[in-house]
Amino acid sequence: MNIFFRLIPVAVALCAAGITGCASTRVAMSAQGNEAVSIPFTLSKQNNIVVEVRINDSHIVHLMLHSASSDVTLTEEAVRRLGDIALGNDAKIQSWGGTSDSRYSTGNRMRIGPLTRDGVTLWENRNSGEGTDGKFGLDFFGDAVVEIDYDSGRIVVHDRLPDKARDYQSLAIENEDGELYVEGLCLFGDETRANRFLIHSGYAGGLLLDDAFAASSGIDGRIAITETSRLTDSYGHVIEVKKGVMPGFSLGRLTLSDVPVGFFSGRIGNQDKSVLGGAILKRFNLIFDLGRKKLYLRPRGTQGSQRPA
């Protein structure tokens, strides 16, 4: 089971039929020419990127950008508040805590700044990031290059890779059905262990290790446990996670010290993906070029002339 929800066969069939809008799609832009489009966002206390979104030209909601999801969701509370979202269908959804039924509505319009996408399917969730009405994924922006500038609090949508990317660290991305992975190095004293991490802007913490890696690395006995907490997924399932601080973590040539890390102790096989969350992502300005399968990142506050060592 995963830390983010995934459509299982009934919903996958809907995706294949074109109902969910899963395929890469170019959004309509009311901006003139090929100029970059700038969209303001708020960074929440939970490290979520929160954007104002207009649904069906009549409702304003606040959705978090969820880099590990390719669906647009609204919480049950938001659906009740809006009142006129027709949720007449349902499908089976799997999250990290189990399987649930989720209702959905097809044929909606979604607008973020000057960008509009039609034919959007809205899924109903129980939960979302605190203070948000749901979430959306990077696929909303179609084939565009997407910059997340935490310094200025803006998402910038480009039609091509901006020149500034030459001053960023470049990482290869593995894109598996919309899930974006990068390789990171976990540093335990004199030992370095490589692992693959899902880029997950919806997860508030730093790193969350998959069960197999947590077991093989022996992390439970190698770092001081600072907290045991409970996580709740979009459908209300609860699971306990141990948290501590890992001495170091590297992405390419960039190394971070004292990195917050969590793992599900004693639940081998349930968490099968390691996660790179918002507490680490917010330390960088990011550029996603999914067409070239690249992530560019630069430490926040770094001037353009200062390239990563």
**Which pLDDT belongs to residue 98?**
53
* Interval 237-255: pLDDT, tens: 677 788 999 999 999 999 9
**Sign, Cα dihedral of 132, 133, 135, 136:** negative
**Which pLDDT belongs to residue 173?**
98
**Which pLDDT belongs to residue 94?**
55
**Which pLDDT belongs to residue 35?**
82
Task: Decide: helix, strand or coil at residue 279.
Answer: helix
**Which pLDDT belongs to residue 146?**
98
Q: Which domains does the chain have, with CATH numbers?
A: 6-160 (2.40.70.10), 166-299 (2.40.70.10)
147 has pLDDT over 60? yes
Confidence category of residue 71, pLDDT binned at 50, 70, 90: confident
- Higher pLDDT: 41 or 219? It is 41
d(CA 60, CA 80): 14
Confidence category of residue 232, pLDDT binned at 50, 70, 90: confident
**Which pLDDT belongs to residue 15?**
43
DSSP string for residues in 137-186: -GGGGTTSEEEEETTTTEEEEESS--GGGGGSEEEE-EEETTEEEEEEEE
CB distance 95 to 233 below 8 Å:
yes
H or E segment to which residue 225 belongs? strand 225-232
Which residues make beta-bridge pairs with 98? Answer: 95
Task: Decide: helix, strand or coil at residue 306.
Answer: coil
d(CA 116, CA 136): 13
**Which pLDDT belongs to residue 283?**
97
Confidence category of residue 87, pLDDT binned at 50, 70, 90: confident
For the residues 182-202, what does the mean pLDDT come to?
94
**Which pLDDT belongs to residue 19?**
44
For the chain, count helices (H), then strands (E): 4, 24
**Which pLDDT belongs to residue 305?**
40
Share of the chain above pLDDT 70, in %: 79
Does the pTM exceed 0.85? no
